[in-house]
Structure 1
Amino acid sequence: MTQTAALTREQVINAEPGTDLNVMVAEHVFNWRRILGPDNDYDGPVEYGEVLIPPNMSEAHAYAMMPPRGRIPLYIFVNREWSSDMTAAWEVVEKLKVSQVTRNESGFSHSDLKYRVIIGKNQHVAYGDTAPEAICKAALLAVLDL
């Protein structure tokens, strides 16, 4: 297993909804883990990197599911759109105690953003253009205590 560099508050706040934010949520909220991808394919040695796998998946099972050719992206198994789909974002809400989700509240410090989410007793606050984005960012801030 490999180790990832610690995320900063700025990286979380500035993350765009999509693959990168979903990878952060998988790894830090749902405890997915990084393994090294295959170093060989049918044509021989290949450039390889890390692959993020769910906590209940064995490395052997992950390797069996990977394509036999080419570089495998970090996010190959991340098939949930936590940061852009409200149905998927409910998984994050259920995993963590979401204290508050507010839409279009006057007095936002980020008035151009539509949603504010507060999580936990330490009141980790995040803003986003959509509720799923704000939920994911607040969850990351909470679990990383940023």
Structure 2
Amino acid sequence: MTREEILAMSTGKDMNLLIAEHVLGWIAWKEQRGEYTHVIFQRPGEREPYMRSQQWKTDQKRYEPIPFTEIDRMKHIVSGLKDWSSDISAAWEVEEKIKEIGGLMIGYYMTELMLIVRSNGFNMVHATPEQRCKAALLAILPGEE
């Protein structure tokens, strides 16, 4: 995605999916439940979703990883995402992840946030969840021309 595309995004599920994939490193799994297809998420360090059952070998057939680009909210029931782009307490989790990554990523994030809020630093404490998520995506994703 280009910088302009990220900055033009509105809050909501599309931005939250990008945060889950690129910032938080979640893995999406497609789970077939009867005639419905659900998308659930595995956080880093968690076991595969089918391993949560005592009959995991049987349940394994219902699950398969799905690329985030193939998630279609018209076809799939998506559950387990937080509203990072609208909820400030959820957005702080995104900032904690940036802090956990550490190193230059913190500097990249802070620079992007300063540019988005158009501030020399003071107004960054008043940044919205949307601004914080956009700064995280811009810091993490490689820029495309």
Q: TM-score range by the shorter chain?
A: 0.5 to 0.7
Query: In the TM superposition, what whole-angstrom CA distance separates every residue of 1:80-101 from its partner, at most 9, and x where no partner exists?
Result: 221111111111122214xxxx
Which residue is 2:103 aligned to? Answer: none
Gaps of 5+ in 2: 63-74, 100-105, 118-126
Which residue is 1:124 aligned to? Answer: 112
In 1: Cα distance, 2:133 partner to 2:14 partner: 11
| Residues 1-146 of structure 1 aligned to structure 2 (within 5 Å) | 7-38=1-32, 41=34, 46=35, 48=37, 51-55=40-44, 56-60=46-50, 61=52, 72-73=76-77, 75-78=78-81, 80-97=82-99, 120-121=107-108, 123-125=111-113, 127=116, 131-146=128-143
Shift of 1:57: 4.6
Q: Aligned with 1:34: secondary structure?
A: strand
**CA RMSD across the alignment:** 3.4
TM-score w.r.t. length of structure 2: 0.56
- Whether the 8 Å CA contact 1:29–1:140 is kept in 2: the answer is yes
Q: Kindly indicate which of the two structures has a greater share of residues assigned to helix.
A: 2
Q: Kindly indicate which of the two structures has a greater share of residues assigned to strand.
A: 1
Q: With CA pairs under 8 Å and 6+ residues apart, which has the higher RCO, 1 or 2?
A: 2
In 2: Cα distance, 1:138 partner to 1:58 partner: 30
In 1: Cα distance, 2:85 partner to 2:37 partner: 27
- Whether the 8 Å CA contact 1:36–1:51 is kept in 2: the answer is yes
One-letter amino acid of the counterpart of residue 91, structure 2: A
- Whether the 8 Å CA contact 2:84–2:133 is kept in 1: the answer is yes
Q: Aligned with 1:83: secondary structure?
A: coil
Query: In the TM superposition, what whole-angstrom CA distance separates every residue of 1:6-64 from its partner, at most 9, and x where no partner exists?
Result: x33333222111211111111111001123332x61xxxx4758654433251314997
